[in-house]
Structure 1
Amino acid sequence: MSDKWVDTIKTFSVITVELVALFLIVAFLVALVQRRVGEKRLQLWMGGGTYVAPLKGILLGSVTPFCSCSTLPMLMGMIKAGTPFTGAAAFLIASPLLDPIILGVIWMLFSWQIMLGYAVVTFAATMLISLAWGKAGLERYVRRVKVSAEDHDDSPWQGLRREIEPAWNQSWSYFRPLAVPLLVGVSVGAVIYGAVPESFLMSVAGGNALWAVPLAALVGIPLYIRTESILPIGLALTSAGMGLGPVFALVIAGAGASIPELSMLSSIFKPKLVMAFVGSVFTVAVAGGLIMPMVA
């Protein structure tokens, strides 16, 4: 076995542990917040008119620095609480793409002007996509979220000490149906990660040709690009000669969707909605890749 594959196995073993831990921690905190605030108040807060609900979803996503996989427990909490579909959809798309960490990385890697342009493009695209999902009635492709008995407990807040156990049980009820899809997705992602060298990315999506942008987005979707990896990947690709547009398309696609996330989403969304999500992330990635060079 080559050193690259040994490193790949080690890297994705660590990623698996991190994703499981992060999912459970986020799900536990979401459960605590839901039990403290109450589903009705949460539903009212996330509600609003045609444009207000997705705007709230985008704002919530922009202040929650989650990777694409760790948005799912909060998404499940929103679905369970009955929040508007457009708001949940906007959160799903915005959370991994508009969080403060990725904006800061883009500022460091390029400039504040490009970071601002990226934020505007991603914000507008997320708003339009969430509205389009609502208009198309894609909510009917959301699976019923299986919940535990604690999820139906509408009793008043009993204090932090008493609420820890039911909140933890609720987090496990969220995680159990996603455990196998997560492991399958990470395994497939590890194979792709180990089999796709940087030279291949340069050969298929290098330069500044227009066709390189959608191709880079297409290549980026199966990859699992962690937030802390975006800076070195971007620097390496730009140093090797890849154009600004393809780099942005690759980063947006890799950060917004991945094989592990899509595998886990299949437990929440029916296939048509999973495909709509992939198409939406691809659209945002291509739009960003085409517009960013103009901003620069």
Structure 2
Amino acid sequence: MSDTFIEFIKTFFMLFFELLALFIVVSFIVSLIQQVISEERIKKFLSRPNKAVNYVLGTLFGAMTPFCSCSTIPILAGLLNAKVPFGPAMSFLIASPLMNPVIVFMLWVLLGWEITVAYLFILTIFSILVGVIFSKLNLSETYKGVTVKGDGFFSNKQGSKIKQALNDAWAFLYPMLPYLFIGVFIGAFIYGFIPTEFITTYASGDGIFSVLIASVIGIPMYIRPETMLPIAEALVSKGMALGTVIALVIGGAGASIPEVALLSKLFKKKFLIAFISAVLLVAVATGLIINIIF
């Protein structure tokens, strides 16, 4: 028992400080990039004549925006109020919480580059498709034309770019620390104390029913990726189907209760139903595809 506890402690500290360093470095780099990409530039790029390119750009900019709905939704409102095409704005909305640099790099470190590349490719396709479908369904008519106050991510900042990036890295890290701590703690606990046989017997399903249940559970749980990804890596190492875990992450990060609550201020109920349905479909499809590939 003492050996198991020592291994738990070693795993916890190794994983925690590894992810902590990763989070700081990635946040610093992202801040430098986002000092160049202003909200006005996003509006300009997404309003280009080439509609097909706009969907790709919407997905790309979504992947480069801040890490939670408190920033994504106000930016979305600004884009729509500036008459940015609705479809590319929807691609932005889908990509932003699911493809941000923190998720990408944590997936890379914890689950490997092959899974990360597959995840990015699948989510890119789905982000573009959702934007196109939402545009064809004329869901732009459900927009109420209001604004939502954000956290000032694109507001003017003082000092050098390096100093701003350091300040942003800390600003991103500080509220994430409790979630990172919880996720690493649970992950290390699973590593050390949960028998592999238990996971493979009760939580290793890779069929459509298991993936669907994981996707639905993710939404009310609102498991932040910073918390879930260390747990996901532990569950996968114990034999849980990778796609099922990914579906849980997408469900929680893509249509969390706080995000849906903010969207309800911007859109009518018809849009909310379509949005939640789209995220669930993306979660299930991505989970099944990853289970088939890996």
Give TM class, smaller chain: 0.5 to 0.7
2:79 alignment partner AA: M
Q: Distance in 1 between matches of 2:90 and 2:147?
A: 19
1:117 alignment partner AA: A
Q: Distance in 2 between matches of 1:293 and 1:146?
A: 40
Q: Distance in 2 between matches of 1:147 and 1:100?
A: 24
The 8 Å contact of residues 211 and 247 in structure 2, kept in 1 or not, is answered as yes
The 8 Å contact of residues 204 and 212 in structure 1, kept in 2 or not, is answered as no
Task: After superposition, give the CA deviation of every residue in 1:88-113 in whole Å (9 maximum; x if it has no partner).
Answer: 10110001111111111111222211
The 8 Å contact of residues 247 and 289 in structure 1, kept in 2 or not, is answered as yes
What is the aligned partner in structure 2 of residue 272 from structure 1? 270
Pairwise mapping of residues 112-151 of structure 1 onto structure 2 (< 5 A)? 112-146=113-147
1:249 aligns with 2:250: no
Question: SS at 1:51's partner residue?
Answer: helix
Q: Distance in 2 between matches of 1:208 and 1:128?
A: 25
The 8 Å contact of residues 66 and 96 in structure 1, kept in 2 or not, is answered as yes
What is the aligned partner in structure 1 of residue 92 from structure 2? 91
What is the aligned partner in structure 2 of residue 103 from structure 1? 104
Q: Percent identity between the aligned chains?
A: 41
What is the aligned partner in structure 1 of residue 153 from structure 2? none
The 8 Å contact of residues 146 and 266 in structure 2, kept in 1 or not, is answered as yes
- For the aligned residue pairs, the C-alpha RMSD in angstroms reads 3.1
The 8 Å contact of residues 88 and 128 in structure 2, kept in 1 or not, is answered as no
Which ranges of structure 1 fall in alignment gaps of 5 or more residues? 1-25, 149-158, 162-197
1:88 alignment partner AA: A
Question: SS at 2:145's partner residue?
Answer: coil
1:111 alignment partner AA: G
What is the aligned partner in structure 2 of residue 229 from structure 1? 227
TM-score w.r.t. structure 1 length?
Answer: 0.65
What is the aligned partner in structure 1 of residue 45 from structure 2? 45
Post-superposition shift, 1:207? 2.4
Q: 1:279 to 1:203 in 2, by over 3 A?
A: farther
What is the aligned partner in structure 1 of residue 259 from structure 2? 261
The 8 Å contact of residues 205 and 213 in structure 1, kept in 2 or not, is answered as no
Task: After superposition, give the CA deviation of every residue in 1:164-197 in whole Å (9 maximum; x if it has no partner).
Answer: xxxxxxxxxxxxxxxxxxxxxxxxxxxxxxxxxx
Q: Distance in 2 between matches of 1:102 and 1:141?
A: 30
User: How many residues are treated as equivalent by the alignment?
Assistant: 216
TM-score w.r.t. structure 2 length?
Answer: 0.65
Q: 2:290 aligns with which of 270, 289, 292?
A: 292
Which ranges of structure 2 fall in alignment gaps of 5 or more residues? 1-30, 150-155, 159-189
Q: Distance in 2 between matches of 1:202 and 1:91?
A: 37
Pairwise mapping of residues 162-181 of structure 1 onto structure 2 (< 5 A)? none
Q: Distance in 2 between matches of 1:236 and 1:42?
A: 38
The 8 Å contact of residues 43 and 84 in structure 2, kept in 1 or not, is answered as yes
1:275 alignment partner AA: I
Question: SS at 1:211's partner residue?
Answer: helix
Q: Distance in 2 between matches of 1:142 and 1:219?
A: 28
